[in-house]
Structure 1
Amino acid sequence: MDRTGGELADRILGGWTGRIAGNMLGKPVEQGDHWTREHIDAYLRLTGALPLTDYLPPPPPGATGFELRPEWRACVRGGIDGSCRDDDIDWSILGLHLLETYGSAFTTEQVGREWLMRLPYLQTFTAERAAYRNLANGLRPPLTATYDNPYQEWIGALIRADVHGWTSPGDPRRAASLARRDAVLSHSGNGVYGAMWAAALIAAAFTAPDVRTALESGLAQVPPSSRLARTVRGTIALYESGLGWSAALDELAERTAGLGWIHTVPNAAVLTAGLLYGEGDFTRTIALTVRGGLDTDSNGATAGSVAGVMCGAAAIPPQWSEPLRDRVSSAVFGFDGVGIGELAERTLRLATLTP
């Protein structure tokens, strides 16, 4: 790949656009203990939206039991006018700012400093909120991740990882190393491995011939005996056995039972299945991933990032990109209203630097 040419720029813009579109698709149904896979599909049947090829339709009047998240009016078909504010996108923006400020040699302590300087406490959740509180109380990494933090293996670090992949095109090892340095501020174990895997997967997507190869490149950067790696490999095996998408998710749900809907491991299974059964099609990939349930907006965002990198922004169907209006709402200080194109251009400048 020409790292300085139009192809890389298009793929990075595809990653940003895909992440935001996938996040917006999953946002109205982000409540995994209520919006199960079966409940999401029941809603889609009720609204005539199967197969899912666009953002979610608004709920019909009187549809009890199908209440969407409070922000739904701004992230359903006909209501989208730029992206909604969401932590999945805030973390990508904050990660970009981190790399612009400190370069690839940033420290975990500098990650924490930028959190305190740029992001409001109440716009953080689970492990990140625990780590933020620990930072404010004077603790330093890695104690920020382990003290009074029951969410250490939840999905938060994984959703912070994309920018490390976008700025390491074709270099999964570098991407995983950067993501690890970021992740250990708030996570441990499979929480850290999830971030390393996602960053490496996205980096590999720039040069891999197919998503299966990119997934393997991501797996090569995490301990093979970890539960995350075993679950991703198990998902790949189910796909290669010829089992259908729904049946595969039934099996994976049994294997990861009890971990909860925000834990990294079951979400990695849903994400991997969406990528594999999406078979390289952007729309099918994010639709299946969100229909898989659990942390729908986070999984949709990461799936959209991978699929967007692989196909490039020019190939993302317009029903996903046009309603975003090249505009991002963000809680990150100094970035609200920033253009998607501007974020991609700034990312490109970092990606073309020699590590």
Structure 2
Amino acid sequence: MNAISREAVLGCWLGKAIGGTLGQPFEGLDGPLAATFYEPVPTGMVPNDDLDLQVVWACVLAGQAEPSVTSSALAAAWTAHVEFPFNEYGVAKRNLREGILPPFSGSFDNWFTKGEGAAIRSEIWACLAPSDPATAAEYAYRDACVDHAGDGIIAPMFLAALQSRAFSGGTVDDLLDAGLGVIPRDSGIGRVVIATRAWCEEFPDWRDVRSRILSRFASQDFTDVLMNTGFVVLGLLAGRGDFARSILITSNCGKDTDSSAASVGATLGILSPTSIPGEWLAPIGSDLVLSPGIVNLDAPATIEEFTDLVLRLRERVTFVPREAQHDWDPRSKAVRVTRSWSTRAGELGALNDWFMPPSHAPAPVSTGESADVELEGTWSQLPAESFENDLMLLRYPLDAQGVQHVRVMVASNLLVRVWLDGDWLFGRDGGAMFPAPHMPRMNTFADVELGAGPHELTVVLHRPEAGHVGEWVVAIADSRTKEWIPDALRVPPEKGAV
């Protein structure tokens, strides 16, 4: 391994840490922002899952007698070393604990399939397959399919290929071409990359390009890979090779700022390690600081030691064929509920409750016929035309599997009211969804103490406007860890309900 290659790998991790530290205080903000430096200026590296997970993957692979990148090995690492409950991470770990293997662990019952969670893990695969975009992209696929699907997989493949190409030098356009070469150009990621390149040529002000990215690719989920990948491309192009300008443009676009700025910083750190200014390096230091959610791992103490671990691993890792995909029927994980239909039209005073059952009152009693139905999972969708009346009443059997401190979350874009064992819990009158138990929106959750089950959760949803689709996610989590409780809504019929 020559000194230049080591410098590029070290530049990757330093650039990653700098970009993540810059963007972290602004994560989730809409933008555009106007930062010109760290706010606040750190006194050391700030831990971030963007780097944490790549340290886990490297340590796990390094511990193998004959290292090879497989989805099964990475899936095992999730449950052994990662306690993050975040977004797609939490869903994937729930699926894995329910016996659902990759790639279905990423695609099944996952509202966050297009989240940034795998795109932020692309660098390790570029470092293990430098100047080999196709292999780097394949490694990224094997990683991403554990907790993503669709564009949530395509984005890290694009970035891993782009960053792998950066080890050979060249221009940003050379890197973008390499990334596009491993993905479908008609995918969402392909479209946003191509469109952003064209807009960067047409508009000199990055803010104008940002506005166009959002006009076509915006999402209610600030972690969505489409718009955030657009911001990465924008920073790389509009920054014109200037490290600070590039990461600032991307971070100032807003949304998933730490993730997108970290991707830009890592890419430029590979392409030109000496381009990282000293004033950006100094506050970071060299200590490798991991989040408390990374457990049971003997990790390197410094970024330099981590760099050397990756370089040694690169010499040892062997490419093996992709694991055969097993047969799995998603119907085996259906959620069985009792459904009935109702309306409050014509009732005196119904308008006061927006024609929903009154809040803080006992759970409504079905007056019409009820039927047992199977929902695909915890995440359900139903178009307005499939509603048989104004109100859909769903009764979910619930078993917290011995967990006493429980978070009940029902996130929906519809008017919704929720009761547990007949007692009022919460309600919300529609709005944007973010169905993550660790950071639910107001009035979409309650923390309760449960005795031995089973219990019954009553959810009432109002029909959406004509032509619209209603969706809802019901999550049962440990209120202390915010981790999903596996199979909490799949109560065997013989156990019954209250």
Work out whether 1:270 is the aligned partner of 2:231. Answer: yes
- Show the counterpart of 2:465: none
Number of the residue aligned with 2:453: none
Alignment partners' CA distance in 1, 2:67 and 2:202: 40
Aligned to 1:10: 7
Cα pair 1:161 1:199 within 8 Å, conserved? yes
Cα RMSD (Å): 1.7
TM-score by length of 2: 0.61
Higher relative CO (Cα under 8 Å, sequence separation at least 6) belongs to 1
Pick from 99, 110, 116 the counterpart of residue 155 of structure 1: 116
Residue identity opposite 2:31 in structure 1: R
Distance 2:120 2:290 in 1: 15
User: In the alignment, which of 75, 92, 106 is matched to residue 112 of structure 1?
Assistant: 75
- 1:71 counterpart residue number: none
Q: Which amino acid in structure 2 is aligned with residue 36 of structure 1?
A: D
How far off is 1:216 after superposition? Answer: 1.1
Aligned residue for 1:209, secondary structure, equals coil
Post-superposition offset of 1:354: 7.5
Distance 1:177 1:290 in 2: 28
Residues in 1 aligned to 2:290 and 2:158: alpha-carbon distance in whole angstroms: 26
Paired residue total: 314
Query: Post-superposition shift, 1:85?
Result: 1.8
Deviation at 1:148, TM superposition (A): 2.2
Secondary structure of the corresponding residue to residue 154 of structure 1: coil
* Residue number among 270, 276, 293 corresponding to 1:309 in the alignment: 270
Return the structure number with greater strand share: 2
Moved over 4 A (4+): 352-355
Matched, 1:328 2:288: yes
Distance 1:173 1:186 in 2: 21
Structure 1 runs not aligned, ≥5 long: 45-51, 57-75
Alignment partner of 1:217: what SS?
helix
Residue of structure 1 equivalent to 2:16: 19
Give the Å deviation of 1:99.
Answer: 3.0
3-state SS of 1:338 partner: coil
> Amino acid of the residue matched to residue 23 of structure 1?
G
Is the contact between residue 54 and residue 124 of structure 2 (CA under 8 Å) also seen in structure 1?
yes
Pick from 106, 127, 131: which aligns with 1:145? 106
- Offset at residue 24 of structure 1 (A): 0.2
Offset, 1:55: 1.3
Whether the 8 Å contact between 2:107 and 2:145 is mirrored in structure 1 is no
Cross-structure match for 2:146: 185
Higher helix share: 1
1:24-39 matches, within 5 Å, as 24-31=21-28, 35-38=29-32
Aligned ranges 1:1-355 → 2 under 5 Å: 4-31=1-28, 35-38=29-32, 40-41=33-34, 44=35, 52=36, 54-56=37-39, 76-77=40-41, 80-102=42-64, 105-120=68-83, 123-258=84-219, 260-312=221-273, 314-331=274-291, 332-333=294-295, 334-335=297-298, 338-353=301-316
Secondary structure class of the residue paired with 1:324: coil
- Aligned counterparts of 1:203 and 1:330: Cα–Cα separation in 2: 25
Q: Distance in 2 between matches of 1:180 and 1:237?
A: 27
- Unaligned 5+ residue runs, structure 2? 319-498
Partner of 2:434: none
* 1:329–1:336 contact (8 Å) kept in structure 2: no
Q: Which amino acid aligns with 1:291?
A: N
After TM superposition, the score normalised by the length of structure 1 is 0.84
